[in-house]
């Protein structure tokens, strides 16, 4: 196996092992490791990958690792990136599922979980801020972001509909001269 394939596997293994907090928490880990530390893709490419990963079924971490793995190492890069990102979380989820019901009533377990919740929110907010710096490039992008936020938050429109609407708004605001 060539060197880049090993690098893809171990990068995503580390990302999967240390990106606690779910889908959007992994975005900041991918950004740090793949863009800032290794320089494998540009921030703009990364935002496009996040958008594609969000539009396709499945977890954002898996979709992103699959896409990035393919971009960097072809089919085998895709396979190894995907395996790398899911290996540790799958093992941890199996272990937690076996023991959580036995210990969830203990005070110290409740305290740990109460401490982790705001940390996860902070990680997600940091990822949102970082993505926002690259995504909000002009007043049109801010308008799209605000409209979609209000639609999802206030009107409770589905994320799928929000993506379709934002794509349409992108066509209207960027594709056709106004």
Domain boundaries defined on the chain: 3-133, 136-178
pTM value is 0.65
Q: CB–CB of 8/73 below 8 Å? A: yes
pLDDT recorded at residue 6: 94
Q: Give the gyration radius of the chain's Cα atoms.
A: 18
- pLDDT tens for 150-169 read 999 999 999 889 989 998 99
* Beta-carbon contacts of residue 66 (< 8 Å; ≥ 6 apart): 78, 81, 82
- pLDDT tens for 74-94 read 999 999 999 999 999 899 889
Q: Which of 173, 147, 172, 175 is nearest to 161 (CA)?
A: 147
- pLDDT tens for 30-72 read 888 888 889 998 888 888 888 888 778 888 888 889 999 999 9
């Amino acid at each position: 196996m060539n060197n880049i394939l090993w690098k893809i596997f171990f990068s995503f293994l580390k990302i999967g092992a240390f990106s606690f907090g779910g889908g959007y928490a992994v975005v900041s880990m991918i950004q740090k490791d793949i863009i800032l530390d290794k320089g494998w893709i540009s921030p703009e490419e990364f935002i496009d990958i996040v958008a594609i990963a969000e539009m396709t079924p499945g977890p954002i971490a898996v979709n992103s690792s699959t896409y990035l793995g393919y971009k960097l190492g072809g089919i085998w890069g895709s396979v190894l990136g995907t395996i790398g990102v899911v290996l540790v979380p799958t093992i941890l989820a199996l272990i937690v599922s076996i023991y959580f019901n036995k210990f969830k009533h203990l005070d110290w377990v409740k305290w740990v979980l109460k401490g982790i919740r705001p940390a996860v929110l902070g990680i997600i907010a940091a990822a949102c801020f970082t993505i926002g710096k690259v995504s909000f490039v002009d007043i049109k992008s801010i308008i799209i972001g605000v409209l979609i936020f209000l639609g999802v938050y206030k009107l409770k429109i589905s994320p799928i509909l929000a993506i379709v609407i934002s794509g349409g708004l992108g066509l209207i605001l960027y594709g056709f001269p106004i």
